[in-house]
Amino acid sequence: CPNNIGMSGVSSHCHVSSQRCCHRGGVVGAFHSHSRAPVSRPLARRRALVSRAASSRVPLCTIMSVPPRALVLLADGSEEIETTAPVDILRRAGAHVKLASVEVVAGTWARLGVAASRGVGLVGDVSVEEAAQGTWDVIVVPGGMPGAKHIRESEHAVKLLQSHKGHVAAICAAPAVVLADAGILAQGDKATCHPAFAESLTDQIGKCADDRVAVTARTGGDQGSLVITSRGPGTAIEFSLALVALIFGSEKAAEVAGPMVVHDGALDGAAAVSAALA
């Protein structure tokens, strides 16, 4: 477990209850396999409030006291900054954020620990199959290769993205490799991605925008739901602040940005989200 990692990156002692690791969700080089365990389903009241927030275009936190819930997908080869920046910044804002691993062992056991694109060990909170049992205000897909490819090849991840009719966000390779391939981005939508995947995205939806953060209404989603896309590690903070604006509002995004000493244009994506929600 993260509290017991030795120099080799291998846990020397791990208390396991019902085949689950006692420490999860850290950014460390621990790799464990876990059995699938049920997670509690959100109450019907929350589902109704989520629907109300989407239809009224009012940030969820303004109509309920329960923190908004965000899910960040995770795979071997996911880009580290693009994965952790949304987790960090959304948690600064007060969101309840979970990392969901798409990896499995022998096609059966969920593997929460992954090796990210630069070899950094990341540990998910839940498997993507467990995450599918919950309700999320936004689902975030990081880029990085082959991480985006692994997410696209995960049947559970694709089904989760397609069945979730609320907000979706993706960065770097993921808009082209995951969202367009899954039909979440459609012809004519405004979206951006890493320059290396711009031609692919253009082929799929007609154009790749030059914006550092692009916002479009979600085709086939709930009323008021958006798709937010961005370009790469260098735009990950702007992307994440846009997610804060999406579920908390632009004032909260500015509040979170202040102590982070971000550059002057870091809230441009947040402003684009606010305009789309207006």
Give the distance between the most distant pair of CA atoms in the chain: 53
What is the Cα–Cα distance from 202 to 199, expressed in whole angstroms? 5
Could you read off the pLDDT tens digit of each residue along the chain, which spans 278 residues? 333 333 333 333 333 333 333 333 444 333 344 444 444 334 455 555 556 555 555 555 555 578 999 999 999 999 999 999 999 999 999 999 999 999 999 878 899 999 999 999 999 999 999 999 999 999 999 999 999 999 999 999 999 999 999 999 999 999 999 999 999 999 999 999 999 999 999 999 999 999 999 999 999 999 999 999 999 999 999 999 999 999 999 999 999 999 999 999 999 999 999 999 99
| Nearest Cα to Cα of residue 185 among 153, 210, 208 | 208
pLDDT of the residue at 11: 34
CA atoms within 13 A on the CB side of 155: 3
Q: Which residue has the tokens 């903070």?
A: 237
Instruction: Name the CA radius of gyration of the chain, rounded.
Output: 18
User: 141 with 171: CB under 8 angstroms?
Assistant: yes
The strand pair at 96-101 and 126-127 is best described as parallel
CA atoms within 13 A on the CB side of 261: 0
Residues with a catalytic annotation lie at: 172, 194
Find out whether 216 and 254 touch, Cβ atoms under 8 Å: no
Q: Is 81 exposed, middle or buried (CB count within 10 Å of its CB: 0-12, 13-18, 19+)?
A: buried
Nearest to 32 by CA among 119, 107, 125, 94: 125
Q: How far apart are CA 221 and CA 241, in angstroms?
A: 22
Residue 106: the pLDDT is 83
Q: Which long-range contacts (CB under 8 A, 24 or more apart) does 84-88 make?
A: 84/27, 84/122, 85/236, 85/237, 85/239, 85/240, 86/140, 86/142, 86/169, 86/236, 86/239, 86/240, 86/243, 88/240
**pLDDT on residue 108:** 80
The angle, 0 to 180 degrees and rounded to 10, between the axes of the packed helices 250-257 and 80-93 is 110
State which amino acid sits at residue 272: A
Beta bridge partners of 64: none
pTM (two decimals): 0.79
107 Cβ contact list (under 8 Å, min separation 6): none
What separation in angstroms does the CA of 261 have from each of 177, 237, 272? 32, 11, 20
